[in-house]
């Protein structure tokens, strides 16, 4: 239980790192790289739009400014219609990151609510919510997103956020449910139940704080999903094409033949920005994973004892084996899930 508070501190406290050098030093290298890289993007998103050299939509009418390679006047060159790529990039990073984070917050909140509720209520409600989660996991998200957004007339930012958030929760909900099931049977939860705590208080004070590392990981994953999906949607033209996001930049670059004309400065910067943003999030997530499971750490964390390299031992497994008895309808619902395959056969079963 010492792990969870440590992560929460580290994640919220990029600013506190000076005050608490200990936390920073103990962080896995990958997580550090992720925090620094992601921090740079957040900084760019905050400051970037304030320092753009040009208006990103301004189309310079003089023909000499069309499709210019990077120069002193236009650090990242210009587009076909004479727009400044750097300005578009700075504005685009903010819009894309903003969308990713909003979707991440909303979808993670939904995931926590669904997952924790399912695990805590147990029985019929658990199986029903799990069934819904599994159905939404198996329906391919991107085609559904395209169909849903196709019906919104202007395909602006708000519908995109709503639709992405509504389809982004099932993965997180699955993980949260498994973890809650594991925690729910621990002694400290039983103790607080015995002392007469209300259910919502047990959930809010005893259970959720112990899941902070998983919630953080789920949040990072959801942001990754949101950025990837929104950029992909914009790239294929299912977005507000008058706004500047990394996806719409790529859309215009693709549709105006930047590739065939060799204008690498037009499509490489936005693509690289998305890729680096994604890398930062993946690194951050691996770092969080490694904090929870030292076995996954680099060999560098191994220590040499009596001539042999020993890796740090595995701590108590986070996901302890969950064995539940399911009766009646709940058991019936459960038998349709893939995980029912891994259930232990109960005594008397298997005539």
Partner 1 sequence: MSFIIRRLVFYVVAAWVALTINFFIPRLVPGNAVESIMSKFPNLQPAAYRAIEAMLGVGHPGSIWHQYWAYLVDVAHLNFGTSTSEYPAQVSTLLGEALPWTIVLVGTATVIAFLVGTALGIAAGWRHGGGLDRVLPGLMFLQAIPYFFFALILLELFAVKLHVFPIGQGYGQGLIPGWHWDFISSAVYHSLLPALTIVLTSIAGWMLQMRNVMITTSGEDYVVAAQAKGLSNRRVVLTYAARNAILPQLQGFALAIGFVVSGALIMEIVFSYPGIGLLLVNSVTSNDYALTQAIFLVITFTVLLANLIVDVIIVFVDPRARAREATR
User: Which residue, among 9, 5, 220, has the nearest Cα to 105 in the 3D structure?
Assistant: 220
- Per CB under 8 A, contacts with partner 1 among 15-34 are 30
- Residue of 31, 114, 231, 291 that binds partner 1 (CB under 8 A): 231
Of the candidates 248, 19, 279, the residue with the CA atom closest to the CA atom of residue 156? 248
318 in contact with partner 1 (CB under 8 A): no
Q: With contacts defined by CB under 8 A, name the span among 13-21, 116-124, 148-156, 192-200 that binds partner 1.
A: 148-156
Look at residues 186, 184, 171, 182 and name the one whose alpha carbon lies nearest to residue 285: 171
- Which of 122, 123, 271, 292 binds partner 1 (CB under 8 A)? It is 271
Q: Give the number of residues written for the chain.
A: 351
Residues 6+ apart with CB under 8 A from 11: 216
* Spatial separation of the C-alpha atoms in residues 85 and 333, rounded to whole Å: 54
CB atoms within 10 A of CB 147: 11
According to the binding rule CB under 8 A, does residue 351 interact with partner 1?
yes
- Rule CB under 8 A: is residue 348 a binding residue for partner 1? no
**Residue 283 lies near partner 1 (rule: CB under 8 A):** yes
> What angle, 0 to 180 degrees and rounded to 10, lies between the N-to-C axes of helices 264-292 and 212-235?
160
Of 18-26, 45-53, 119-127, 253-261, the segment contacting partner 1 by CB under 8 A is 253-261
What is the distance between the alpha carbons of residues 349 and 72, in angstroms, rounded to a whole number?
77
232 binds partner 1 (CB under 8 A): yes
DSSP of 145-161: HHHHHHHSSS--HHHHH
Q: Which residue in the set 55, 199, 295, 315 belongs to the binding site for partner 1 (CB under 8 A)?
A: 295
278 touches partner 1 (CB under 8 A): yes
- By CB under 8 A, name the one of 61, 64, 153, 328 that touches partner 1: 153
40 lies in the binding site for partner 1 (CB under 8 A):
no
Q: What is the DSSP letter of 342?
A: G
Q: Which is nearer to partner 1, 60 or 134 (CB)?
A: 134
The one-character DSSP state at 64 is G
- Judged by CB under 8 A, the residue of 22, 25, 151, 325 near partner 1 is 151
Q: Is 268 left (phi over 0), alpha (psi -120 to 50) or beta?
A: alpha
Q: Where does this chain bind partner 1 (CB under 8 A)?
A: 30, 131, 134-135, 137-144, 146-148, 150-153, 224, 228, 231-232, 235-238, 250, 254, 259-260, 262, 264, 267-268, 271, 274-279, 281-283, 286, 295-296, 298-299, 302, 311, 314, 335-338, 340-342, 345, 350-351
């Amino acid at each position: 239980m010492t792990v969870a508070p440590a992560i929460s501190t580290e994640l919220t406290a990029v600013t506190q790192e000076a005050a608490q050098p200990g936390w920073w030093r103990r962080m896995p290298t990958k997580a550090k790289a992720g925090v620094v890289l992601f921090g740079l993007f957040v900084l760019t998103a905050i400051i970037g739009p304030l320092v753009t050299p040009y208006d990103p939509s301004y189309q310079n009418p003089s023909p000499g400014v069309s499709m210019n390679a990077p120069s002193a006047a236009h650090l990242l060159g210009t587009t076909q219609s004479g727009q400044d790529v750097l300005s578009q990039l700075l504005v685009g990073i903010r819009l894309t990151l903003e969308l990713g984070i909003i979707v991440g917050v909303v979808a993670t909140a939904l995931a926590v609510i669904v997952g924790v509720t399912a695990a805590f209520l147990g029985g019929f409600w658990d199986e029903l919510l799990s069934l819904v989660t599994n159905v939404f996991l198996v329906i391919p998200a991107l085609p559904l997103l395209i169909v849903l957004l196709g019906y919104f007339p202007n395909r602006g930012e708000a519908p995109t956020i709503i639709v992405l958030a509504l389809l982004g929760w099932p993965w997180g909900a699955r993980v949260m449910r498994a973890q809650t099931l594991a925690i729910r049977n621990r002694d400290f939860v039983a103790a607080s139940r015995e002392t007469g705590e209300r259910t919502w208080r047990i959930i809010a004070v005893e259970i959720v704080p112990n899941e902070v590392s998983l919630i953080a990981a789920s949040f990072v994953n959801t942001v990754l999903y949101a950025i990837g999906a929104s950029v992909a949607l914009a790239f294929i033209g299912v977005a507000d094409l008058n706004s500047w996001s990394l996806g719409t930049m790529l859309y215009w670059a693709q549709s105006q033949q930047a590739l065939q004309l060799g204008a690498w400065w037009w499509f490489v910067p936005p693509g690289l920005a998305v890729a680096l943003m994604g890398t930062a999030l993946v690194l951050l997530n691996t770092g969080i994973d490694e904090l929870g499971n030292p076995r996954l750490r680099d060999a560098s964390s191994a220590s040499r004892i009596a001539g042999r390299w020993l890796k740090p031992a595995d701590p108590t497994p986070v996901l302890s084996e969950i064995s539940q008895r399911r009766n009646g309808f709940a058991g019936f619902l459960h038998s349709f899930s893939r995980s029912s395959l891994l259930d232990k056969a109960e005594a008397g079963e298997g005539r």
